[in-house]
Structure 1
C-alpha cells in the first residue's frame, strides 16, 4: 500500500489517500503470466474486466473555470522526489501529482484496484519473481514526444536512488530492463511478494530527455537538486505561472493524451488550478470566508466545524457545509515520540507519556464528542489487533517472546480513560510510577533524573496555528507531574526540513493504512528507514522484531496469514508506546462555495473526488456579482 496526495495543498486533503495491497491474486479469470488490465488484489473489481469509466462521474461534465486553493507556508522547488526543498502545491512526493502520469492509476472508489494509465497492461509469473509492463503507444509528453521504455527505466533508477519513499517501496526490485520498444521487465531479488508486481504500477514516469537536457541558459539540469524551472510533464496539467513561495497556477493541457482513458472520463474538469500561499491558518481562513482565494475548505477540527462555520456567506447558502463518508480514512494519528533522543529510549517513559493524554475530556469539551480514540495502527479494519494473541498470531509472537514486553501475552492493550473526576489522579499517578521505575523522580515540582538531576523536558513541534486545543491540554497534564513540555510552532518549510531530518522531540504524525498493508510498512517502521532522512519512521524504531514482522506482512502467503502477521505487528507497536494515539473520524468535512456542479453520488471509499466536480458558470457568475469575486 502507498498513500499519497494528488495535486493538492495542505488545505485540500480529499481525493488523496489511495491504496494497493500486499497479497492474494488478481482477477479470478486471469492466469499467471497473462496480461492484465484492471484487476483487484482482493477479488474482482466491481467493474469486472471491461472498465469504461467510474460509475459516479458525469461523463459529460463541462470543462472550464478555476479551482482556487490556499496553502500554508511556502515553496522553493518543483522537484518533489528528493529530500531537499519544499515542493510547490500540485507536486507529490509519491505519485505524479498534477504534472506526471504513473504506469497505472490506483482506483478512487475501491481499494486494491489499479487501472491502466501510461501502461495499458502488466503480467507476472507464478512465483512473483518479476513483473512486466506494456506501455500505451499513445502516451506522450507535453512536447509531443512519446513516453518510452527508456523513460521508465531511467525513472526507476533515479527515483530509487534519490527518493527515500520509492527506495523503500521498491526495495526488492533490483532492476528495470527494456525488453522491447513497449515492454519493461522489473526483476526482484525475492520471490513470493504478492504485492510487488502490482505496485510497480505506482511508479511515476519522468521525461529522461528533458532532465538530461539543458535549460534556457545552457545549464545542464540535475534531477538530484531542487529547481524552479517548470518541468516537462505528461499528465492533465502543466505549470502556467508562479510567484516563488507565494503562488502557483496550473493550466489544463487541452490536448492531453490520456483525456479519453477510463480513469479520466468526467474528471480533471477545471481549466485552471490556482494555489495561493499564506503564512498562517488564520489568514487562510479569512481568505476562504471572503471568497476568491479558496473554494473548498477541508476541516479537520471538530471544534471549528461546530463553532466557526456561521459567517454570512454560509448563512445565505452561498457556502455549503457538508459531510462526506470516507470508509478508508481510519489511520494512526498521534504524538510520535522520537526514540532517537536518549530521553525517550526507555519504554516505561513512553508509556508514562501516554497516561498523561486526556482524550476523553478534550473530546467532550472541545470536539463535541465527534471523535473516536485510536486504539490500533490499523484502526477500523479486521487488521487491528484485539483481545489476547491467539492462534497463528500467537505462534508468530512466541518466536520473539524473550524480546517483547511480558504484558503483551497476558493483557489486552488498553489506553488510559479519563471518564470520572478520579480518573485524572489515577492516570497521572500511574505515569509518575512508571517514571520512577525508569529512574525519574519529582523534586521541587519537577520531574528529574534521580542520578543526574537532569529535568525531563521536551518540545512538541508543529506548523499549525490551530494546534493548541489538542496540544495545550496535554502539556498542562504533563506539567502536573513535573514534565516540562512546550509547544513550538514554525513555518511549513522549516517544519518539513526538520521532520525530514528527524530534528524534533515529538510531532503529531498521521500514518495512513489500507485494508492490505505491504511494502510501505518498511518506510513506517524498519530499522533502515529510522536512519534514512525523509522516511516516515518518525519514532526512529530500530527493532529486529519489528523488522521481522514487517517482512512477514510483506511476504504473507494469503489473507489469513496477512491478518495474523499484521495483528502481531500492530500489537508489538502498541505495547512499545512509540506513539501516543490521538483520534480519528470516518468522515470528510467540506465547506465549499456554491459554484460547482457535483455528481449525484461521490465515492465512499476515499471520500469525495474533487476531480469529478466542475464549475457551474451560472452559479459562479451569480457569486461574482454578489461578492465582487476576483476569481
Structure 2
C-alpha cells in the first residue's frame, strides 16, 4: 500500500484527530473544545483513557524508515524543497492544542492552557501556559506563535499550508501569552485547525553574527521547538537519533501535563534507514530494530516466518482500527488531454481485475475501495447503494442546474460499485464495456494499437516510487494491452518521484488520500481548483470543478454532523461518478510486527500504527 510523502505526512499529522469544527460557549474558556456538544474529557482530567498512565519510562526505541525515503537532506519539515529527516515533525514540534484518538471531534490545550471561541465564531483566543518553553529554554510567547503562523503562510513554506488555512485572516498578539486568530469567513473547524499548527522559535536558524537563515534555506540547522525530544546525532542516509529533552516543559519535576501522560515513553528514539523493503525485513529478523508496520499483503502472508517468530522473540499481530479508509487508487492527471474525457477514465477502470489480484497476490486480505470516504458514515454508500437523501438533493440539484456539465447524471441514482469480475461478471465482459466506452470517445483499434481520429496511439506512462507495485502494475497493464493501450512503467527513487509529483509531471500514478473522521479544509488542498494550479499541492489529479469547490465549501461550513454527512456524501457522488481514480483496496487492520519486549495499551478508535508505536508504546514493565 502506498504511503504519504513526508510533507503530506506533516499536513496530515496536523489533522489526524483534529479536522473538526467547534461549538463552545465563548464566555467560558476551557482546556477542551468539541465540534458538537461537549468534549469527552472535562477540565482537570488526569489522562486520556487509551494510554497507560503507569507505562515505565526509559530505554531506546529503534525503528526503520517510516516511509519510502532512504535518506534526508534537511531538518525543516515545512518547506517544499528536499526530503526532511524522519521523526523531526512528530518528536520536536508541538502545537497549541492536540486531539484525542477516541473521539472524532475534540481538541485539548497543549501549549495553550485554555481556549476561547468568539460567540460569532469569527475568532479564537489561546492563552499560553507560563511554563511552556522551547528546547533552548526560552519561553513560548504569543509573538512566537504569530511568527510561526506568518512564516507557514508565506511563500517560504510549502504552499499546502496557504491553501488549507486560506480562511484565516491573521494572528494577533493580544498580550505576551495570549494569541488571537481572526477568520475571513465563518468556518466551524477553523478554531481547532489553527490550534494544530506547529509552533517554533523565531531564533531557529540564527547565526553567531545575529543574522537569520531564510526559512526556505534551513537545512541541518537544529530546530528550536517545544517537543519532548531533541536531536542527539545523525548520519544522512543511515540514521537519525533523538534523545529525550531533560528539560521538557510538559514533563518537568515529575509533573506531567495531562495530555502528555502515557506519551513518549522512551529515552531515545533511533531511525535506521534501509535501502528497500527486503533489506528492512531481513534487518528486523536479525534484531536490528523493534517494530515495523507492514503494508504489503504478500510479505505479511509469507515472509514473517522463521525461528524468531517460532520461539516468540518476534511477534506479528493485526490490530483493528476504525479509521476511515479514504481513497487509494491509480490517479489520472487531468492536466493531460488524454484523460479529460470521462468515458476514457471510466473505461480504464474496467481493466483492473481486483478479484484476481486479491486472490492471487493479496491472499484475500483486502476489500475493495468503494468511495472517497470508504469505511466511514460519511460515504455515499455507507449503508448500501441508495439514491441521494433529501439533504443531499438540496445540495446537488442547484449545482446541476447551474453547472450541468460538472454534475454527472449518475449522482442522482444509487452509488455504482467499482467494476468487478466476480460472477456473473468477468474480465472479458468488463473489457467489452471498456472497448465500447473508448469507441464512443473516439478511440478504435487499428494498425496494432488503439488510436484516435488522428491516428495517434493511446499510450501513457505509469510512474511509481519503487518496484514494490510491479506485480500489480504488470497485471493491470496486461489487461490494458488487450484493449490496444500501451503503458510505459517508470520507477524511480523516492526523492525523484516526489519531485515529479510536486510538479505534476506524470500521466498516472498510485495515490493515497487518507480519510479523516471529520474532513474539512484539507479538502481544498486535495480537490480545490486553486490548489490544482499550485505546485506541491495534494491536488495531484488536477481537479478544477466549480461543483467540487462548492461542495468542499459546504463541508467546511457544516455546523452539524448531519450537514457534514450530506455534504461529504454529495461530494463523494460527484467525485466517484467522474471516474478520477481507479479505486484499489483497503484493509481495516494495521499489520504490526514487533519484538516481544515491546508493550502497548489497547489501541484507540482512530490512529495510525506508526504514531501509536511512537507515542504510546513502551518496553517491558507495566502492562
TM-score, normalization by structure 2: 0.91
Alignment of 1:266-285 (within 5 A): 266-285=262-281
| Distance of 2:4 and 2:170 partners within structure 1 | 24
Structure 1 residue 518 displacement after superposition = 1.0
Kept in 1: contact 2:388–2:414 (CA 8 A):
no
Kept in 1: contact 2:324–2:373 (CA 8 A):
no
Distance change >3 Å, CA 24–CA 235, structure 1 → 2: closer
User: C-alpha deviations, 1:336-355, integer Å up to 9, x for none?
Assistant: 11111111111111111111
Kept in 1: contact 2:240–2:270 (CA 8 A):
yes
| Distance of 1:25 and 1:617 partners within structure 2 | 41
1:423 equivalenced with 2:418 (yes/no)? no
2:619 is matched with 615
| Distance of 1:9 and 1:595 partners within structure 2 | 28
Distance change >3 Å, CA 391–CA 253, structure 1 → 2: same
Kept in 2: contact 1:22–1:517 (CA 8 A):
yes
2:380 is matched with 385
2:133 is matched with 140
Q: Which runs of 5+ in 2 are unaligned?
A: none
Is the deviation greater in 14-23 or in 300-309?
14-23
Q: Match of 1:179, SS?
A: strand
Structure 1 residue 598 displacement after superposition = 2.5
Alignment of 1:189-588 (within 5 A): 189-191=184-186, 193-211=187-205, 213-214=206-207, 220-259=212-251, 260-292=256-288, 294-386=289-381, 387-401=386-400, 402-403=404-405, 404-410=407-413, 412-420=415-423, 423-449=426-452, 451-588=453-590
Structure 1 residue 150 displacement after superposition = 0.7
| Distance of 2:349 and 2:38 partners within structure 1 | 42
Structure 1 residue 607 displacement after superposition = 5.7
1:20 is matched with 18
Would you say how many aligned residue pairs link Structure 1 and Structure 2?
A: 600
Q: Match of 1:137, SS?
A: coil
Is the deviation greater in 416-425 or in 180-189?
416-425
User: C-alpha deviations, 1:294-347, integer Å up to 9, x for none?
Assistant: 311101222221111112211121001111111014221111111111111111
Distance change >3 Å, CA 476–CA 41, structure 1 → 2: same
| Distance of 2:73 and 2:595 partners within structure 1 | 30
Kept in 2: contact 1:178–1:185 (CA 8 A):
yes
Distance change >3 Å, CA 113–CA 579, structure 1 → 2: same
1:86 is matched with 83
User: C-alpha deviations, 1:152-197, integer Å up to 9, x for none?
Assistant: 0111001011232221221111110101111111111112x11111
Structure 1 residue 488 displacement after superposition = 1.9
Distance change >3 Å, CA 606–CA 581, structure 1 → 2: same
Alignment of 1:32-51 (within 5 A): 32-51=26-45
| Distance of 1:344 and 1:5 partners within structure 2 | 24
2:121 is matched with 128
Structure 1 residue 595 displacement after superposition = 2.1
| Distance of 1:457 and 1:91 partners within structure 2 | 41
Kept in 1: contact 2:204–2:222 (CA 8 A):
no
Q: Match of 1:263, SS?
A: helix
Q: Which runs of 5+ in 1 are unaligned?
A: 619-631
| Distance of 1:24 and 1:8 partners within structure 2 | 24
Kept in 2: contact 1:384–1:570 (CA 8 A):
yes
Structure 1 residue 226 displacement after superposition = 4.2
Distance change >3 Å, CA 91–CA 444, structure 1 → 2: farther
User: C-alpha deviations, 1:447-472, integer Å up to 9, x for none?
Assistant: 222x2222212222212432123322
2:604 is matched with 603
User: C-alpha deviations, 1:402-455, integer Å up to 9, x for none?
Assistant: 122223224532221111386111101111111111111112332222x22222
Distance change >3 Å, CA 66–CA 384, structure 1 → 2: same
Question: Which ranges of 4 or more aligned residues in structure 1 deviate by more than 6 Å?
Answer: 3-10, 14-17
Distance change >3 Å, CA 17–CA 119, structure 1 → 2: closer
Kept in 1: contact 2:115–2:127 (CA 8 A):
yes
Distance change >3 Å, CA 173–CA 607, structure 1 → 2: closer
